[in-house]
């Protein structure tokens, strides 16, 4: 029996990682990838038409408005993509008995806690991006019971635009860098998140609800940049200078490490430390 999985946000780094790792799987899981040009998620009729034409057992919603800075000026657009489109997906998934796997963010928290955030901790986003993602989260349990909301943090991969790619390109050019120490979180490899999502589908897990997933450990952006340089080699680490303040339009949580104890109870193996995950990615690039 084939399990059909719809993946939205096909041009994003997580969807591209899922495609590379699992499109040719041997578990009778068939993936269909749709980008914004194929499907406008804010258009209820368009989404409904797609689900009417094909049976999907799962929908992985990787589509999101992720430009944190621009979301401060484009609030309506951010809320349309990160909240209203999610409402559409939730209602249509419910009507078609499709399990929704939705990707959310550590930015739903204000960063004032000094210990890793649990799923039960109070949310209080500091910026429009975080607020729009939180509203999307809130819609889901209102309209569907069979869902996984997975909050993650500091995603990177070899695809798209992300901190890892930006820094690695600067290092190749031997550029001097100034990187902030003001934020502490956990860099998360799309490979490990994709593996966790795939496990939920392949094992037909029904422990629905809200989960946190990132790699283990914590770092500042400065520490992450230094580790990228260390892994790449041929670069003087002294060329990366720490700065305690970096002017941005959007406020960001100073501490957004996620507690993974809940999701660890259902995953088959331990989540890799972020340094190990970075090394693993570098080996396959």
pLDDT, tens digit, 9 for 90 and up, residues 108-136: 999 999 999 999 999 999 999 999 999 99
- Please tell me the predicted confidence (pLDDT) of residue 47: 96
The pLDDT of 67-83, averaged and rounded, is: 96
- What separation in angstroms does the CA of 165 have from each of 28, 172, 176? 33, 11, 16
DSSP characters over the chain: -PEEEEEE-TTSHHHHHHHHHHTT-SSSEEEEEE-TTT--TT-HHHHHHHHHHS--SEEEE------TTGGGT-HHHHHIIIIIHHHHHHHHHHHTTPEEEEEEEGGGS-S--SSPBPTTSPP--SSHHHHHHHHHHHHHHHH-SSEEEEEE-SEE-SSSS-HHHHHHHHHHTT--EEEE-S-EE--EEHHHHHHHHHHHHHTT----EEEE---BS-EEHHHHHHHHHHHH-SS-GGGEEEES----SS---SB-PBP-HHHHTTSSSPPPBHHHHHHHHHHH-
> Which pLDDT band holds residue 237 (cuts at 50, 70, 90)?
very high
Catalytic residues: 129
The pLDDT of 40-69, averaged and rounded, is: 96
> Which pLDDT band holds residue 246 (cuts at 50, 70, 90)?
confident
> Which pLDDT band holds residue 248 (cuts at 50, 70, 90)?
confident
The pLDDT of 67-86, averaged and rounded, is: 97
Q: How high does pLDDT run on average in the chain?
A: 96
Q: Is 49 a residue whose pLDDT tops 90? A: yes
Q: Is 285 a residue whose pLDDT tops 80? A: no
Q: Give me the domains of the chain, ranges plus CATH numbers.
A: 3-161+187-216+256-272 (3.40.50.720)
Question: In this structure, are residues 179 and 237 in contact, taking their beta carbons and an 8 Å threshold?
Answer: no
pLDDT tens-digit series, residues 179-223? 999 999 999 999 999 999 999 999 999 999 999 999 999 999 999
Q: Is 247 a residue whose pLDDT tops 90? A: no
- Please tell me the predicted confidence (pLDDT) of residue 40: 94
Q: Is 245 a residue whose pLDDT tops 90? A: no
Q: Is 27 a residue whose pLDDT tops 80? A: yes
pTM of the model: 0.97
């Amino acid at each position: 029996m084939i399990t059909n999985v719809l993946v939205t946000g096909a041009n994003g780094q997580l969807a591209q990682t899922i495609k590379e790792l699992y499109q040719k799987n041997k578990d009778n899981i068939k993936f269909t990838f749709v980008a914004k040009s194929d499907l406008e998620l804010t258009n209820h009729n368009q989404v409904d038409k797609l689900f009417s034409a094909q049976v999907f057992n799962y929908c992985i919603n990787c589509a999101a408005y992720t430009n944190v800075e621009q979301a401060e000026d484009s609030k309506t657009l951010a809320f349309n993509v990160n909240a209203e489109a999610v409402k559409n997906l939730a209602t249509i998934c419910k009507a078609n008995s499709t399990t929704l796997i939705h990707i959310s963010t550590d930015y739903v928290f204000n960063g004032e806690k000094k210990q890793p955030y649990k799923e039960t901790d109070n949310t209080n986003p500091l910026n429009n991006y975080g607020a729009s993602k939180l509203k999307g989260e809130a819609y889901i349990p209102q309209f569907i019971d069979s869902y996984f909301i997975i909050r993650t943090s500091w995603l990177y991969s070899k695809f798209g635009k992300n901190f890892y790619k930006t820094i690695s390109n600067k290092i190749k050019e031997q550029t001097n860098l100034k990187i902030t120490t003001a934020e502490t979180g956990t860099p998360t490899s799309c490979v490990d998140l994709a593996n966790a999502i795939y496990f939920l589908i392949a094992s037909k897990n029904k422990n629905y609800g809200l989960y946190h997933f990132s790699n283990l450990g914590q770092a500042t952006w400065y520490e992450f940049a230094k580790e990228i340089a260390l892994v790449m080699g041929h670069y003087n680490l002294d060329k990366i200078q720490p700065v305690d303040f970096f002017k941005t339009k959007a406020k960001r949580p100073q501490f957004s490490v996620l507690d993974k104890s809940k999701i660890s109870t259902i995953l088959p193996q331990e989540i890799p430390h972020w340094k190990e995950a970075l090394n693993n990615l570098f080996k396959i690039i």
